[in-house]
Amino acid sequence: MAKQAKSAPAKKGAAKAAKSGKNDEAARKVAPSAKKAEAAKAKRRGTGDPNKKRGSKSGPVVAEIPSGLPGSEADLAEQPQFEARYPGSGRLEGKVALVTGGDSGIGRAVAVLFAREGAAVAISYLSEEQDARETQRACEAEGARAMRFAGDLGDPKVCKKLVDAVVKAFGGLDVLVNNAGEQHPNAEITAITPQQLQRTFQSNIYSMFYLTQAARPHLKRGAAIINCTSITSYQGSGELLDYSSTKGAITAFTRSLSENLIEHGIRVNGVAPGPIWTPLNPAGGAPPEKVANFGDDSPMGRPGQPNEVAPSFLFLACEDSSYMSGQVLHPNGGTVVNG
């Protein structure tokens, strides 16, 4: 599940909420023990066991995060694993990649893996500056050129500014990863307000459309677009009605865009992750008990880690998938889906 990118219609209220949330968060923080700090550091290095379930008798998995606000890696007691697990082989050497929602979660893992494979990497994010700086640092540690850009992708003007900044900094654009998004669980359809519905569609699908429009003039033959959809696009979700609807739209958009661009030599594919441990899960407002058991109902009995999903994006971005377009890969822990 992808990272949050809030919509333009709720910008003013969101800014106030974010300011309040940061103050509340600061008041709640408790200094971790040396043991927990070292464990978190190991997780950030990507050295943890992906088969180990989250949580323990010592405390909750995640600190409280205000519902609907951008999630942060720093708020998670157990850090998502993002670092690549194998040496790079130059599969994106000389390429320029833009990853939206690249500050944390799946987006961070994709950005770092692309950097390891030789790409210059730009990431966009809403307001999570600390996470974005860490992603940029991790990309540069791989020897790659990297940049970050803060902005609300629900605004088409921001999308154009983002693309222009990337092209100016790196001289072009070869790979576009549309990964940013948000979710807000609701048990009842009547609880979904018009404002929430608008924001979710604006963040998850409108922003993808706007950014692709802005990027299109710069995408030449051989370029690749990878859209992040979701397992909920195929299975549905009773508590993520608006979110799963946008993911279904993204799947259709991916197939249609492939038909539109294939004659120009531009491939368009998608990735539909299952339950992946990222800041989006608690930030979306899910009850603590659901967060604690997140992913346990997958066939593998655990959530996936971002660095288990990133290789799917790499495959679709490089020439290894040169005969694939209009397709969707499913790193979802063993769930069988059709389509």
Task: Give a yes or no: residue 9 inside a domain.
Answer: no
Question: Taking a C-beta distance cutoff of 8 angstroms, is the pair 80, 131 a contact?
Answer: no
Report the domain count for the chain: 1
Q: Is the pLDDT of residue 162 over 80?
A: yes
Residues carrying an active site annotation: 243
Q: Look up the domain containing 284 and give its range.
A: 67-76+90-329
Task: Give a yes or no: residue 201 inside a domain.
Answer: yes
Task: Give a yes or no: residue 102 inside a domain.
Answer: yes
pLDDT in tens, 210-264: 999 999 999 999 999 999 999 989 988 988 999 999 999 999 999 999 999 999 9
Tokens (6 digits) for 166:
């990337």
Burial 107-120 (b: 16+ CB within 10 A, else e): bbbbbbbbbbbbbb
Of the ranges 35-39, 160-164, 291-295, the best mean pLDDT one? 160-164
Task: Give a yes or no: residue 45 inside a domain.
Answer: no
pTM of the model: 0.78
Distances (CA, A) of 176 to 22, 27, 134, 282: 31, 38, 21, 27
pLDDT at residue 282 in the model: 56
What percent of the chain lies above the pLDDT cut of 70? Answer: 72
Task: Give a yes or no: residue 5 inside a domain.
Answer: no
Task: Give a yes or no: residue 337 inside a domain.
Answer: no
Confidence band of 198 (pLDDT split at 50, 70, 90):
very high
d(CA 138, CA 30): 26
CATH code of 200's domain: 3.40.50.720
pLDDT at residue 69 in the model: 52
Confidence band of 6 (pLDDT split at 50, 70, 90):
very low
Task: Give a yes or no: residue 236 inside a domain.
Answer: yes
| DSSP label at residue 61 | S
Which residues of 199-311 form beta strands (DSSP E)?
224-228, 267-271
Task: Give a yes or no: residue 311 inside a domain.
Answer: yes
- Please tell me which residue, 293 or 178, carries the higher pLDDT value: 178
Tokens (6 digits) for 110:
């994709």
Question: Taking a C-beta distance cutoff of 8 angstroms, is the pair 291, 63 a contact?
Answer: no
